[in-house]
Structure 1
Amino acid sequence: MTEEGERRAATLQAASSVLVVVDLQDRLVPAIEDHEAVVARAGILVKAAEILAIPVVFTEHFPEKIGPTVAAVTTQGPGRQVFRKEHFNACDEPGFTTLMADLGRPQAIVCGTEAHVCVLQTALGLVGLGYQTAVVEDASGSRKAPDREAGFRRLAVSGVTPVTSEMVVFEWAARGGTDDFRALHALIK
């Protein structure tokens, strides 16, 4: 198997992951198709990350105009970081790649809005930096379904692994029968 194939085939691991929540902001989210489900699934991922001490990076695109991250997904945990950005690709923003490198985790799990713009460009940027990158399809959205689906198709052929929130939670859990698993399982029941 090639190095890229090994990187794409690797199981998501809590100790190797960082969750990147892209632009789930107050004034943008209501325009997103099926936004309640997108926010609910992103919230599950954030809570799972808290349980497993996985760092969470929230990007906010021009928060003074679009607002902060929606309260339903924010966390006050020690691994929480908010990163203001102007570029659609967070990796093009000064300081973002340093922030990610300082976390020292090779797997980036990405969700948010819009799937075909900021999520797409940030995920492609992370792949370009060598991160094993997965985009959580049920926790990512766009204003229009055709844009969302085109974004996911492009990601899939660009070295980004498509996943769902349940896939991520169960891979992070790795096994049943633990206190962490019971807490995680309660999130997705």
Structure 2
Amino acid sequence: MLKKEKTGLVIIDVQGRLAEIVYDSERVIANLVKLIQTAKLLDLPILWLEQNPEKLGKTVPALKTVLDSVQPISKYAFSACGEPEFSAAVEKTKVNTWLIAGIEAHICVYQTALDLMNSGYMVELISDCISSRSLDNKELALAKLTRKGAEITCLEMLLFELIGDCQAPEFKTALGLIK
């Protein structure tokens, strides 16, 4: 069961033209906005990544707006764990579980999740907040990561798991985000 005190969020490479052409892109971006709002509401640590932003472009405006208080970490390795600034940020948070969202599922999401698991962290992939250019590549990445020990969740499931109680002060606001 997810606990907000031990959980952080990683947003991976939702940038430029690529973010517009991944499978079900409008829905994924809309869900990512809700996810980030939820993470901020629950005061989860958020790590935001951009792959080679000089070439691929910046994070899409819808996400950039809700990530206003978070600074992006630029990376060039496909796995964020290959970036010392990311690894230092992960260690600084003191959480043991990472929610993973972003693109592309079979490349940067896959490699980052695998490296986090190999470093001893628990990983939950948010299925409705992850995509690739093709549905086949997304499904392959989720299946392979599941076999390697990652868990699969979705936006609504993780929200209720993290809040845990309809009397929690965040409940009403969070519920409004997913309706």
Please classify the TM superposition score into its range, dividing by the shorter chain length.
over 0.9
Task: Choose the corresponding residue for 1:115, options 95, 98, 105.
Answer: 105
Other-structure match for 2:139: 149
What are the Cα deviations for residues 24-64 of structure 1, in whole angstroms up to 9, with x where unaligned?
11221011011011111111110001111111111100011
Other-structure match for 2:123: 133
Other-structure match for 2:68: 76
Q: Which has the higher helix share?
A: 2
User: How far does residue 93 in structure 1 lie from its aligned partner after superposition?
Assistant: 1.7
Letter in 2 for 1:68: K
Task: Choose the corresponding residue for 2:12, options 11, 19, 22.
Answer: 22
- The runs of at least 4 consecutive aligned structure 1 residues that moved more than 6 Å come to none
Within 5 Å, give how 1:1-189 maps onto structure 2.
11-74=1-64, 75-77=67-69, 80-189=70-179
Q: TM-score, normalised by structure 1?
A: 0.90
Aligned equivalents of 1:81, 1:49: Cα separation in 2: 15
The alignment of Structure 1 onto Structure 2 pairs a total of residues equal to 177
SS at the partner of 1:72? helix
Aligned equivalents of 1:18, 1:157: Cα separation in 2: 22
Letter in 2 for 1:57: L
Q: Percent identity?
A: 33
User: How far does residue 94 in structure 1 lie from its aligned partner after superposition?
Assistant: 2.2
Aligned equivalents of 2:56, 2:130: Cα separation in 1: 17
Letter in 1 for 2:41: I
What are the Cα deviations for residues 58-104 of structure 1, in whole angstroms up to 9, with x where unaligned?
11000111111112123223xx2311000111111223211100111
Letter in 2 for 1:40: A
SS at the partner of 1:12? coil
The answer as to whether partners of 1:56 and 1:81 remain within 8 angstroms in 2 is: no
The answer as to whether partners of 1:22 and 1:119 remain within 8 angstroms in 2 is: yes
SS at the partner of 2:152? strand
Segments of 5+ residues of structure 1 without an aligned counterpart are: 1-10
Instruction: Name the Cα RMSD after superposition.
Output: 1.1
Q: TM-score, normalised by structure 2?
A: 0.95
User: Which range moves more in the overlay, 68-77 or 114-123?
Assistant: 68-77
Aligned equivalents of 2:73, 2:108: Cα separation in 1: 13
SS at the partner of 2:170? helix
Letter in 2 for 1:157: R
Letter in 2 for 1:136: I
